């Protein structure tokens, strides 16, 4: 039986940051498919398979969500809240991937049941290293229900 590919939903409105994430996973040769959306409303539509994402074959359930906090339409903390209070979505791990080092954001994310909180490094090499470690952990070590 063929194993399903590892699916990642990247919720990131900054095109440069999104390119860095995509490039990092590619350079680290991490075997996954990344679905990129640019705002919180799109993320929720994707996860609930509605609107432009109603065709489930085009939007498989992600194994992990990489979620920026500062996104348009519906902010990242609200997206996190919806995921973690939904019976059908709550088991999907949510990794906050943000530029915010604010203690208040960190606390709100973990209060909302984020699975991890990562601050995006400023320099490219550190970013690549972080993505390698993140990908290796979620794709290799972590087991999901």
DSSP state of 71: -
State pLDDT tens for residues 26-54. 877 777 899 999 999 999 999 999 999 99
Contacts with 16 (C-beta within 8 Å, 6 or more apart), sequence order? none
What are the chain's domains? 7-139 (3.40.50.2300)
- The whole-angstrom separation of Cα 110 and Cα 59 is 27
Side by side, which strands form the sheet with 116-119?
A: 33-37, 7-11, 64-67, 94-98, 116-119
- The whole-angstrom separation of Cα 33 and Cα 60 is 10
pLDDT for the residue numbered 61 = 92
pLDDT for the residue numbered 15 = 95
Stretches where the chain sits below pLDDT 70 are: 1-3, 145
pLDDT for the residue numbered 3 = 61
pLDDT for the residue numbered 66 = 97
pLDDT for the residue numbered 2 = 47
Cβ distance 66 to 8 under 8 Å? Answer: yes
- Paired tokens of 77: 């903390």
Contacts with 78 (C-beta within 8 Å, 6 or more apart), sequence order? 40
SS3 97: strand
pLDDT for the residue numbered 56 = 72
Its pTM stands at 0.92
């Amino acid at each position: 039986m063929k194993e399903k590919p590892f699916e990642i939903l990247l919720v990131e409105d900054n095109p440069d940051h999104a390119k860095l994430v995509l490039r990092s996973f590619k350079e680290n040769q991490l075997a996954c498919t990344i679905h990129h959306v640019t705002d919180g409303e799109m993320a929720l539509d994707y996860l609930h398979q509605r609107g432009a994402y109603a065709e489930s074959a085009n939007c498989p359930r992600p194994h992990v969500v990489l979620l920026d906090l500062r996104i348009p339409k519906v902010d990242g903390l609200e997206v996190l809240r919806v995921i973690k209070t939904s019976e059908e979505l709550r088991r999907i791990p949510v990794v906050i991937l943000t530029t915010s080092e604010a203690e208040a954001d960190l606390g709100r994310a973990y209060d909302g049941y984020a699975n991890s909180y990562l601050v995006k490094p400023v320099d490219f090499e550190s970013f690549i290293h972080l993505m390698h470690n993140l990908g290796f952990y979620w794709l290799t070590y972590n087991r999901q229900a």
